Amino acid sequence: MKKDFLRKGVAILALAFIPLVSCSDDDNDTMPQNNTIAAIASSNANLSILVDALDRAGLTATLDGTGSFTVFAPTNQAFTAFLQQKGFANLEAVPVPVLKEILLNHVVSGTATSSSLATGYVKTLAKGSASSTNTLSMFINTANGVVINGGASNGGATVTTADVMASNGVVHIVGNVIDLPTVTSHAIANPDFSILVQALTRDDQPDFAGILSGSQSAPFTVFAPSNAAFASLLTELNLSGLAQIPQATLENTLKYHVVAGQNVLAASLMDNMTVNTFQGGSFTVNLEGGASITDANGRVSTITATDVQASNGVVHVINKVLLPPM
């Protein structure tokens, strides 16, 4: 990667905040408006471990203050399961810096109630190890209830009780602790990346899912093609399905969308910047007339969304699959 890749450039597209909502009106509780989020948690016996965790991480004063927050509050059962899964004997065994980021990954700035939720990305207050400035992204899916980061099987959660109103925001109770998302879990969480996930996990491919969820060669910058991008590629190549793409071609193509060892945000991209990829080839970033990428074959892909932050890298969405040098 050229040094220019890390210099501050012209900011391109940014993901807007998309507010959050509830599962159903039947689950809604309303609390007196003079109650803070911290006070509401303290008054709920099923959130006692969350209260202890907030105290230990030094976050109680924040959620007892005058700001405006949306908090996804894990139950005691959720915390107990999470501690067991991570191999911690109890809450005190979790390092405070780790605990703090986990908790902040459940907090979004602003009051987002049930009437304002839509499917899309929001920014939490947590930071992973990949970026000191870009906070972690959270994917909310409202297609079937309110599912966060792909649900429990993907390190996410589902809202079970929504719209517990506080004087400084709102609480939505969730059934699982929301883990810090990786590049892989972000891809799995978003249905518009389902074909990309199929490609990454095809039986004849390297363990891309494992690589992009780990720390070796991290952080990663991934230019992720949408489902429409893959459909367009199959049409362009006159193929009936993903299975028809030869093993080596698919492997090289997927690697061509990844930059290893750097968390490159949109603001660092520059016009006519050459990007060296994990595959070994390079492509060119163009900003004039809108952010796009020109691959090694002269094909142009538009960058449609940027800075989806994971704990081990960042994802930018593109509308055409990039093809490496032939």
The CATH number given to whatever domain includes residue 100 is 2.30.180.10
Domain-located, residue 170:
yes
- State whether 295 and 242 are in the same domain: yes
At which of 155, 180, 205 does a domain end?
Answer: 180
Chain segment 274-283, per-residue pLDDT in tens? 999 999 999 9
CA distance 49 to 246: 51
Domain-located, residue 204:
yes
At which of 180, 204, 238 does a domain end?
Answer: 180
0.85 exceeded by pTM? yes
- State whether 88 and 191 are in the same domain: no
Chain segment 306-315, per-residue pLDDT in tens? 999 999 999 9
CA Rg value for the chain = 21
- State whether 163 and 270 are in the same domain: no
Domain-located, residue 12:
no
- State whether 31 and 133 are in the same domain: yes
Which domain covers residue 162, as residue numbers?
25-180
CA distance 91 to 82: 10
- State whether 229 and 130 are in the same domain: no
- State whether 149 and 259 are in the same domain: no
At which of 152, 180, 208 does a domain end?
Answer: 180
Statement: residue 27 has pLDDT above 80: no
Alpha helical stretches, state H, the chain: 37-43, 48-57, 60-63, 76-86, 96-104, 183-189, 194-200, 208-211, 227-236, 247-255
Chain segment 178-219, per-residue pLDDT in tens? 999 999 999 999 999 999 999 999 999 999 999 999 999 999
CA distance 82 to 241: 39
Beta-carbon neighbour count of residue 326 at 10 Å? 8
> What is the total count of domains within the chain?
2
